[in-house]
Structure 1
Amino acid sequence: MKKYFALALCFLMVMTSRAQNYTENFADKTLRVDYIFTGDASRQSVCLDELSVLPSWAGRRHHLSELPLQGNGQIIMKDLETGNTIYTTSFSSLFQEWLETDEAKTVNKGFENTFLLPYPIRPVEIEITLLNPRKEVRTRLKHIVRPDDVLIHQKGTTHITPHKYLLESGNTDKCIDVAILAEGYTSNEMNIFYQDAAITCESLFSHEPFKSMKDRFNIIAVASPSDDSGVSVPRLGEWKHTAFNSHFSTFYSDRYLTTRRVKSIHDSLAGIPYEHIIILANTEEYGGGGIYNAYTLTTAHHPMFRPVVVHEFGHSFGGLADEYFYDDDVMTDTYPLNVEPWEQNISTRMDFASKWEDMLVKGTPVPTPVSEQAKYPVGVYEGGGYSSKGIFRPADNCRMRTNEHPTFCPVCQRALQRLIDFYTK
C-alpha cells in the first residue's frame, strides 16, 4: 500500500511541477518579437525591429525548454537573473532559403520575421540563432527584454479582424490553434473565403494523423480583406494590392508563392488565439509555399488545392521535407550529403538511427528497389530533398512527394503524431 501511495505522490508532484512551470515564469500573454534578417550569401545579421504584447498565450505550457525539431534556426529565452533556459523554439525562414540562391551572391536584402513567445514576468535574455545547411551558426543576436518596458507595443485589444471558428475542440491551452487567413479576397468576397477555409479544414482532417487527432485542434478562419481581388503574378505583369502583398515567382520560381510582409500577417491576427498559420490566395494559378513555424501560403482555386494545402502544411506545421527529386541532380547546397538533415522524413544515412530505422522490417534492402514498394511500404528509397542521389525517403510515394498520392507515408504520419503530442500532452 505504501508503495502505491508513494508512486501516486510522485506522479502528483511531477504533474504539479509541470503545471506550475509555466506560471512560475510567464504571464498569460504573448511576447511578439519582430526581427529583420539581413545580409547576403557571405555575411548575415539579425536586427531587432519591434516588441509587442498580445492579450493571451495560445502556445504550449509544457516542454517549454525542449525542442521537438531542430529547424534552421532557434530562439532561446533565459531568465536574466538565474541564466536558466525557460523557453525555446525553432523555425526556418525565407531569408535562409534565399541565401542559397544565385541572387544572394551579389545582392544584400532584408526579410521580416516574427515570432511568438510566452510573456515573461521577469527580465529575460533572448538569443536567436540562424544555422546554415551544415548546421553551423551563420549569425546570432542576444538582447534583453524587460516586461515593464513602456515601449512594448500593446496590440490585439482593438481593431480585431473579423473571424469565426470552423473547429473548436477545446481551450487554447489544450489544443493547437491554427488560423486560416484570406489573401486577395475583397470585403465582398468573404463568403467565398469562408467556403475555401472550410475546404481547407476538410482536406486537412481527411489525412492521418490529423483525422484521428482532430480533437487536438482549433481552426479559426480570419477574414483579412484586400483592396484587390487575386494575388500578384509577376510573370504575367499582374501586381495587386492585397492584405499581405504575396506574389508568385519567389526566387524567380514561377510556382513559388510567398510573402516577405510577415508583420502584416501577424497584425491581422492580433487579438485572435493562434500558433500556426495557413494563408489562402484567391487565385486559380498553381503554386504555394510552406515554411516551418512561419506559414503555409497556397492557392485556393486551382484543381490541386486540396492536396497542395495539406502538403504545404506538412512543411509549415510538421517540419517535413519535400520527398520529390530531380533526375541527375544533387542539390548539396540545400542538403549536404555528409550531414544528417533535421527533417524527419529524409536521410543521408549519416545518422539513420535517429530517423525511421526502427520502422524497417528485418531484411529490408538498402537502398530499397522501387520495384519492391509493395513488399516494403517503409524502406530506404533513394531520391528525396530535391536530389536523386545520396538522400533517401521512407516510401516510394507520399503526400510530401506527389499531389496524386492520397496519404502521408507511415514515417511522416509518425513524425506528425509525435509533434501533435509534443504540443498537447
Structure 2
Amino acid sequence: MKKTIITTLLAFIFISGSANAQNFDDYFMDQTLRIDYLFNGNAQQQTVSLDELVSLPGWAGRRHSLDQFPLAGNGNIVMKDKASGKVIYRTSFSSLFQEWLGEKEAQHVTRGFENTFLLPYPKKTAVVTIQLMNAYHKPCASLTHEIDPQDILIHQRGITRITPHKYLLRSGTPEECIDIAIMAEGYTANEMPLFYQDAQDACDAIFNHEPFKHMKNRFNIVAVESVSQDSGVSIPRNKDWKNTAVNSHFDTFYSDRYLTTRSVKAMHNWLAGIPYEHIIILANTDTYGGGGIFNAYLLTTAHHQMFKPVVVHEFGHSFGGLADEYAYDTAPSPLYPYSVEPWEPNITTLVNFDSKWKDLVPENTPIPTPVETDSTTIYTKVGVYEGGGYTLKGIYRPASECRMKINEAPRFCPVCERALEKLILFYTE
C-alpha cells in the first residue's frame, strides 16, 4: 500500500465514501453522541439492541472525510441526515462479541456484550445504522434507529464530576490531534502516583516506535485517575476476584493470558468530559497478558517485564487495526477463512494481494518467501511469509519478524509502519 503515502491513502479511503467535501458545521454540533449498544446472540444468530444515548461536551474526533473510513473492521456504523438521506458520518470497529462467536461456547450459549461508540452530535434528526459482519465479510446483524438531537432522554454526562486527569503529551487542540486516554485499572487512590509513572512508560514505549515517533506532534495523551477499590485485577483461575474500575479479568474465553473487560459503559463513564478517541487501560499487576480490540480499547499489564513491547503490540490492534502475525496451529482459524481476504492490512490469504503490500515485494520473490535469518534484515525484508492470523498454513505476513509477531522485535515491519502512518494521516489531515 505505498506509492506516495498521500496518493494511496486518498485512493484507499474513497472506496468507502464519496469524494465530495463535507463541512462538519453543516451537520454537527461541537458535542459527542455516545451510543451504547448490546450485541447479543450465539454462533447461529446475532442481534443488536440499542441500550442508551449519551451526550458529551465537545467532539474530539475528525472533522473531515466524515463519510469515509479506511478500514473495514468487523462492523461498521453509518449516520445519515434524515431529511436528505446523505451519509454524514462513517466509522468501523471490531468487538469482543464477534471474536467470541468463534469460540466453542458460542455453539451452545447465548450471551450479550456491551459496546459503545462515539459519533459527532447531529444538529438535525439523523438515522444511524450499525452492522455486524461475519468472518466471510457478510452482514449477520444490523440495527437502524433515529437520533432526535432534542430527545430529553439523551443522558448528559461530563458536565460535572469529571474524573481527575493529567496530560502527559499535549500537542494541540482535540480538533488538531488524535486524543488517547490512558486509564488506571486496579490502582487504588494511594497508588495513583504509580499509575502516572506507568502511564508515562506506556506513552514513551509507543513513541519510541515508528511511525508514532516522527508523528508524535499529532497526538494528545491524557492519563485518567479511574480509581479502584482493590489493588490488582481479577484472575479467575486463581479464584481471585477484585473490585476494580472496569472489572477486567484474565482467562477471557478460558485463555490464561487474555485480559479484557465487558464493562464497556463503565469505562466510558469514567472518561465523560475528557476529550478522547482511543483508550489504553493499564492493569496494576505483574501477571502476563493483555488484549486489544480495534476502535474499542486495549488492556495490558503494567508490571510484567514485557509491559512495554506488549502495550505497543496491543496499540497496533486497537488503534491501527493490525492483525496478529503469530501462528500456533495448522488448522484454519475461524476468524480468517481462506476464501476471503482479511481486512487487516498486515496479513493476506492472497485472495486479493493487490490490495495489500504487493507493491513492496521485490520482483522474483518466491511465494511463500523463505524465512529471513539475517539479523540485519529480519524485520525489514518484505516478502510473503507463511504463517499469521493464528494459523501456520494459508495465511501470510509481510516480514519474518515484527512487533505484531514477537515481543522481542524492536519495531513494526515496513508494512505495519506504512498502514499506521496512513491511518494517522487520515485522522489528522
Please give the range of the TM-score, normalised by the shorter of the 2 chains.
Answer: over 0.9
Matching residue within 375, 395, 398 for 1:394: 398
Q: Find the counterpart in structure 2 of residue 361 from structure 1.
A: 362
Query: 1:419 aligns to what?
Result: 423
Distance 2:156 2:104 in 1: 40
2:282 counterpart of 1:288: no
Equivalent in the alignment of 1:5? none
Which residue does the alignment assign to 1:232?
234
The alpha-carbon deviation at position 361 of structure 1 amounts to: 1.4
Aligned residue type for 2:100: W
CA shift digits 1:223-262 (9 cap, x unpaired): 1000000000011110000000000000000000000000
Distance 1:157 1:205 in 2: 32
Question: Distance between the aligned counterparts of 1:321 and 1:308, measured in 2?
Answer: 14
Report the equivalent of 2:125.
123
Q: 1:184-195 maps to which residues of 2 (within 5 A)?
A: 184-195=186-197
Q: Would you say 1:380 and 2:380 are equivalent positions?
A: no
TM-score between the two structures when normalised by the length of structure 1: 0.94
Mapping for residues 122-271 of structure 1, pairs under 5 Å? 122-271=124-273
Distance, in Å, in 2 between the alignment partners of 1:110 and 1:381 is 37
State how far apart, in whole Å, the 1-side matches of 2:355 and 2:27 are: 32
Counterpart residue number, 2:12: none
Question: In 2, distance between residues paired with 1:281 and 1:58?
Answer: 25
Query: What is the aligned counterpart of 1:74 among 73, 76, 87?
Result: 76
Match of 2:340 in 1: 339
Give the equivalent residue in structure 1 for 2:320.
318
Equivalent residue of 1:314, what SS?
Answer: helix
What percentage of aligned pairs have identical amino acids? 63
- The root-mean-square deviation of aligned C-alpha atoms, in Å, is 1.1
Contact (CA 8 Å) 2:232, 2:284: kept in 1 or not?
yes
Per the TM alignment, residue 330 of structure 1 is displaced from its structure 2 partner at its CA by: 2.5
Q: Deviations over 1:293-314 (max 9, x none)?
A: 0001000000000000000000
Tell me the alpha carbon deviations over residues 282-328 of structure 1, each in whole angstroms, 9 at most, x when there is no partner.
Answer: 00100000000000100000000000000000000000000000143
Residue 371 of structure 1 and its aligned partner are, at CA, apart by 4.3
- Measure the CA separation in 2 of the matches of 1:119 and 1:224: 26
Is the 2:372–2:400 Cα contact (8 Å) retained in structure 1? no
May I ask how many residue pairs the two structures share in their alignment?
A: 407
Tell me which stretches of 4 or more aligned residues in structure 1 moved more than 3 Å: 371-376
Q: Distance in 2 between matches of 1:328 and 1:268?
A: 42
Q: Distance in 2 between matches of 1:238 and 1:367?
A: 45
Counterparts of 2:331 and 2:415 in 1: how far apart (Å)?
24
SS of corresponding position for 1:31:
strand
Aligned CA distance change for structure 1 residues 154 and 371 (closer, same or farther; 3 Å): closer
Question: d(CA) in 2 for partners of 1:67 and 1:210?
Answer: 20
1:100 pairs, out of 102, 116, 120, with: 102
Rg: which structure is higher? Answer: 1
Aligned-residue offset at 1:367: 1.0
How far has the Cα of 1:414 moved from its partner? Answer: 0.1
The SS at the match of 1:370 is: coil
Alignment of 1:2-151 (within 5 A): 18=21, 21-151=23-153
- Deviation string 1:205-236 (CA, Å, 9 cap, x unpaired) is 00000000000000000010000000000111
Deviation at 1:366, TM superposition (A): 1.3
Residues 368-410 of structure 1: per-residue CA shift (max 9 Å, x gap): 1014664970000000000101000000000000001110000
How far apart, in 1, do the equivalents of 2:355 and 2:121 lie? 33
Q: Structure 2 CA distance, aligned partners of 1:176 and 1:407?
A: 21
| AA of the residue aligned to 2:129 | E
Number of the residue aligned with 1:351: 352
- Structure 2: how far apart are the matches of 1:33 and 1:239? 29
Cα offset for 1:152? Answer: 0.5
Q: For residues 266 and 290 of structure 2, what CA distance do their matches in structure 1 show?
A: 19
One-letter code aligned to 2:414 = P
For 1:221 and 1:363, how far apart are their aligned partners in 2? 49
Local SS of the residue matching 2:130: strand
Aligned to 2:407: 403
Inter-partner Cα distance in structure 1 for 2:45 and 2:346:
30
Equivalent residue letter for 1:355 = K
Partner of 1:12: none
- SS of the equivalent of 2:359 reads helix
1-side partners of 2:372 and 2:160: how far apart? Answer: 59
**2:286·2:304 contact (CA, 8 Å) conserved in 1?**
yes
